[in-house]
Structure 1
Amino acid sequence: MTLPTKPLALTVNGQPVGPLDVPEGLMMQDFLHEYLNLTGARMGCGQGICHACTIMVEEADGAVREMRTCITGAHWFAGKKVVTIEGHAQHDAQGGLVALSSVQQAFIEHFAFQCGYCTPGFVTGATVLIDQLKRAPIPRAELEKTVTEALDKHICRCTGYVRYHTAVRDLILNTPGLLRG
């Protein structure tokens, strides 16, 4: 039995992809893994609860938001711009690493992960938070609550929450323009 397919075209990490014939019910995580060999979005729970599978979707105004790939079909992303964990760092034309993102660097500096399985989701969530704060800075008094709310939906089985939280808080404190007052 052959599964029905539809063409899918989108932009992944700044590169156009497709159109490719993709099974209609294929989840985005499976598309990334099986068609593009991008395996950073991890299968954790398979139910959209743990957020290990999140990627960023760029909105028309340039803002980014998190999307869970284990519960969202690949065709939902048709025509959209997405960034996977593989697209956070800067690379040269040959694919060599130039620089980590500020979030990735903060996580390393704070030893903010243990096994690393959940880290792609936490990097994505923190990056989305930083983007939101660049667009709408918050009062300093709301920082702890804001970081907690942004990272709360991400599950770490090794219990690295304190270090993730500290890394994101310190990054925000040390990035001009994200806080007011």
Structure 2
Amino acid sequence: MAEIEFSVNGQPVHVPEDKQEMSLLEYLQEEMRLTGTKFCCGIGVCQACTVAVKQKGKDELKPTVTCVTPLKAVDGWRIQTVEGVALPDGTLHPIQAAFLDEFAFQCGYCTPGFLMASIALWEKLKKKPVPKDKVKDVVMDAIGTHICRCTGYVRYHHALRKVILAEPGLTV
């Protein structure tokens, strides 16, 4: 196995063979010092460690848990972490603003995972809007299995539904 290449928040990354067994989460935190992606369960269930990725040869942004994803699997991927979400001028992404406006989180530990899954949904809806009466269902599909220890689910779901319905082009 040779060196692998991928990008994180637009930054090219080259990983030698001896580090390719590391999890993506461990690499982000230990090697890149990107600590926004959180370790929680370690088995891919809670989804606190979710990032958004475009896999090699695919155009769809999809949520991916990093704690169980080995680096050797991410060759050619474009990875976006919570640190790469704000807009280029520093303005918060509309989903970030909605989470704040709706007081969607308490401790904030699970927020990056909820946010990154929501960003993937946002991008999907920009390409393929859904009927307004289906927004609740697509939100549930996107973040319904994420775990929040502080039980902030209702606020996350409400904030995401609200911002999707308010944004032109995401619904039909």
CA-to-aligned-CA distance 1:67-117 (integer Å, 9 cap, x gap): 11000101211221110111111356xxxxx11111111111111110000
Aligned to 2:69: 72
Q: Which one of the candidate residues 81, 86, 100 is aligned to 1:84?
A: 81
Q: Which runs of 5+ in 2 are unaligned?
A: none
Structure 2 CA distance, aligned partners of 1:117 and 1:19? 28
Question: What is the identity percentage for the equivalent residue pairs of Structure 1 and Structure 2?
Answer: 41
The answer on whether the counterparts of 1:58 and 1:64 sit within 8 Å (CA) in structure 2 is yes
Aligned to 2:158: 166
Length, aligned pairs only: 171
Aligned to 1:35: 31
Structure 2 CA distance, aligned partners of 1:139 and 1:90? 27
Residue 17 (structure 1) shift: 1.6
Normalized per residue, which structure has more strand?
Answer: 1
Dislocated runs of 4+, deviation >6 Å: none
CA-to-aligned-CA distance 1:139-160 (integer Å, 9 cap, x gap): 1111112212211111101000
Alpha-carbon RMSD across the aligned residues, in angstroms, is 1.7
Residue 22 (structure 1) shift: 4.2
Residue 23 (structure 1) shift: 2.2
- Find the structure with the greater CA-based Rg: 1
Q: TM-score, normalised by structure 2?
A: 0.92
Q: The residue matched to 2:3 in structure 1 has which SS?
A: strand
Structure 2 CA distance, aligned partners of 1:22 and 1:14? 24
Q: Which one of the candidate residues 147, 150, 167 is aligned to 2:142?
A: 150
Structure 2 CA distance, aligned partners of 1:170 and 1:62? 26
Residue 20 (structure 1) shift: 4.2
